[in-house]
Structure 1
Amino acid sequence: MAELVEPPPGMGYPGKHYYMIKNTLFELDANYEPIKILGRGAYGVVCSAVNKETDEKVAVKKIKDVFEDEVGAIRVLREMRFLRHLRHENVIELKDIMMPPNRKNFKDVYLVYELMDTDLHQLITSPVPLSDDHIQFFIFQILRGLNHLHSANILHRDLKPGNVLLNANCELKICDLGLARTISTKVDECMTEYVVTRWYRAPEVLLGCDKYSTAIDIWSVGCIFAELLGRKPIFPGSSCLNQLELILNVLGKVSEPDMRFVDNLKARKFIESLPYTPPMPLQELYPAANPLAIDLLKQMLIFDPSQRIKVKEALAHPYIAHLHKLTNDQPADEVSDEEMYEMGVKELREMMWQEIANHHAEAYGDIES
């Protein structure tokens, strides 16, 4: 239970209330009342809360000492910026960012999101049965949200079941854009930063390729798709090398033309050294699956990223095309994140303040900074 407490020494700012929940102090705007802790992790602590002005339940993420890790601070800033620009029913909405009480030395950040019931990981590992209609609807919504991200020039780069939130009515929203990056107007852009939880990592990332594109997100969707069909991960690698071996055990030995994208000589030699293995038919792996689902999955899990199905093509696939015909999605405005890099803490703090102020100006009208 949340306990309203006196502000610690040096705090006690007007318009803020202080709550202790399971040994974590929350400094919240007065219109928010916390309910309970939802989760903890390297990202921070999340609690459910109610907006007393609207009676709406929300999720509040506290990111403590955000500037202690500059890379982490950039990720938070990036997610703020991206979600301020993105407006789509299959992408989580950032409803509010609480204004820090002090522009020059604030340390903690509080992000307010829509409150969802669960995530795909929890659903997949539960005993709840999933019909083909369920899986169809989930994949359709993931692709629809991903299409919106890609139209804004954004790669998610960390799609996995835990980053796909659900409500009881099967409404789905992609979340956690902390590892997302913008892409250039070129087909590919050199990006070497660590991306994607291993089990959902595309071959081009595992092989250390300097260039990758929106195809990495499609591979991740394919891994999620397979996990929905089989109720367990398709490639649960224990290391990057083992991950690659598991992928090739299913896809079979890679031909020379399909390795043209591999620009890492050592990685290419490793693949060439592997014995021939025939591809494993996905229909045998998932015998109860709809043949159309298998056909779409095959086109997502293609080793060569240039041959992998694109998000718009996937939405037009017969497995989900009837759902997509009912929508009229508009492309998002493109977003840039390049100026965030090579900055010190002082510059990052000021940029984050400005981003929070921009969010409030858009949501509530101009504010004094």
Structure 2
Amino acid sequence: MERKTTSFLALGTRFDVESHYKLMRPVGHGAYGVVCSAKNTKTGAKVAIKKITKAFSNLTETKRTLREIKILSRFQHENILKIVDIMKPSSFDSFEDVYIVSELMDTDLHQIINSNQQLSEGHVQYFIYQILRGLKYIHSAHVLHRDLKPSNLLLNSNCDLKICDFGLARVADPQENHVGFLTEYVATRWYRAPEIMLSWKEYTKAIDVWSVGCIFAEILGRKPIFPGQDYMHQLHLIIKILGTPSLEDTEYIANAKAKAYVRSLKFEEGKSFRKLFPNASDQALDLLSRMLTFSPKKRITVEEALKHPFLAKLHDPNDEPVAKESFDFSFEKYNLNGKILKALLWQELCRFHLELQKVKIEPISNDSKSGAGGDDGPVSMDTS
């Protein structure tokens, strides 16, 4: 499996990539990798290359990487970032770093919000419409994104928007066992729905709608609406702005202590969105209020939001596609060890490089000697 490579440094990280990629500039870095922009000299296409160093050293992060690759390589939608390649290593044994190649965008919504760029109502409508259009597709595949925030919404110079970072995504099934649903949350709490913090009886697609509402408010006000310093402060901010939830709205809080705590808080009248966002239109504030509703059962759905008068100029039911099938989260049911996760990531490589299917991998079992815990899970080498 010989390949010609070239090396360069980006933000202190060494990139060893296929020789037809030429470095343009570093883009950024986070807890899960370093990203740089590059040009494919064969096609002329500009791409983003994300390097995840020692991808198998932390099982939680490995699973996050696998989840992201599985979803982004299968989803086909204009408002969802597309993976165009996963670079192949020289061999399975040397497979330690993961290089994900995706479409290159110019900026993200966080940078736009924090810039001096003037945003008209037309801009706001276009941003919110595209987020909802992409979210309709995501939800139709029975997927919860769970980490929608301005920095995960990429933009180009035409204001075209793409949703990225599906590392925290989960199956959208209220009956699913959501043990660990919150413990893996490492993202900012500012966009987190109240039902997640209050241990609701079930988690639904409404958690993503809440996040869109927070983003909507941040675009209008050019600052986060609920910048909680911790869990308690976050709840206080939400209730201070939305007002004290009714007894009916708190009935579905499963945790008795959390329910009692919310009901014990002093009464808050709530603040007027009109006073908070004096320059916003009535239609914008109406949609915002329907998104930022305390009870998930009363919160507007994505489909309803797309039909809202605020988005009437953009809404086209014939151009808001849905997924052809539900995303398969079956691999999440097993507490997989590092060797199996590596094999599953190799399987994803095979979808981009069919010649790798000929590489023989030693059969792997998910036994305790390999560092696994919990149920055993079979590794399917189906590369469809």
Give the structure-2-normalised TM-score. Answer: 0.88
Cα offsets for 1:91-143 (capped at 9, x unmatched): 01111111122113411000011111111110001111111110010000000
* Residue pair 1:187, 1:213 contacting (<8 A) in 2 also: no
- Say which of 277, 280, 295 aligns to 2:271: 280
CA contact (8 A) 1:191 1:212 kept: no
Q: Secondary structure at the match of 1:59?
A: strand
Residue of structure 1 equivalent to 2:181:
193
Cα offsets for 1:209-236 (capped at 9, x unmatched): 3521110000000000000011011000
2:364 counterpart residue number: none
**Which of 38, 43, 50 is the matching residue for 2:39?**
50
Distance 1:120 1:243 in 2: 22
Corresponding position: 1:257 with 2:245:
no
Identity %: 45
The answer to whether 1:86 aligns with 2:87 is no
Q: Kindly report which structure 2 residues correspond to 1:96-245, keeping only aligned pairs within 5 A, or say none.
A: 96-184=85-173, 186=174, 190-194=178-182, 195=185, 196-209=187-200, 211-245=202-236
Contact 2:11/2:34, CA 8 A, preserved across alignment: no
Whether 1:356 aligns to 2:352 is: no
CA distance in 2: counterparts of 1:304 and 1:292, whole angstroms? 21
Q: Deviations over 1:339-362 (max 9, x none)?
A: 24311111111111001112334x
Matched, 1:368 2:361: no
**331, 334, 346: which one pairs with 1:339?**
331
- The 3-state SS of whatever aligns with 1:319 is helix
Match of 2:315 among 324, 336, 343: 324
Q: Between 233-242 and 272-281, report the one with greater CA deviation.
A: 272-281
Question: Matched residues in 2 for 1:62 and 1:330: separation?
Answer: 31
Which residue of 2 is the match for residue 5 of structure 1? none
Aligned residue type for 2:358: E
* Maintained 8 Å contact 1:192/1:210: no
Give the Cα separation in 1 of the matches to 2:234 and 2:171: 26
Give unmatched runs, 5+ long, in structure 1. 1-11
Asked if the contact 2:108–2:152 (Cα under 8 Å) also holds between the matched residues in 1, the reply is yes
Matches of 1:140 and 1:109, distance apart in 2: 33
Partners of 2:322 and 2:151 in 1: how far apart? 26
Unaligned runs of at least 5 residues, structure 2: 360-384
Q: Which amino acid aligns with 2:280?
A: A
Over the aligned positions, Cα root-mean-square deviation in angstroms equals 1.8
Instruction: Give the deviation of 1:328 after TM superposition.
Output: 1.8
Partner of 2:292: 301
Partner Cα separation in structure 2 for residue 188 and residue 22 of structure 1: 40
Q: Post-superposition shift, 1:19?
A: 2.3
Return the alpha-carbon distance in structure 1 between the equivalents of residues 239 and 322 of structure 2: 36
Structure 1 residue 191, shift from structure 2 partner: 4.7
Residues 242-268 of structure 1 deviation map (CA, whole Å, 9 limit, x = unaligned): 000000001111110011221111111
- Work out which of the residue numbers 67, 77, 83 in structure 1 matches 2:66: 77
- For the residues of structure 2 that align with 1:125 and 1:327, how far apart are their CA atoms? 34
TM-score (norm 1): 0.92
Distance 2:88 2:316 in 1: 41
Task: Work out the CA distance in 2 between the residues paired with 1:140 and 1:82.
Answer: 22
1:282–1:343 CA distance, 2 compared to 1 (3 A): same
Distance in 1, Cα, partners of 2:356 & 2:29:
34
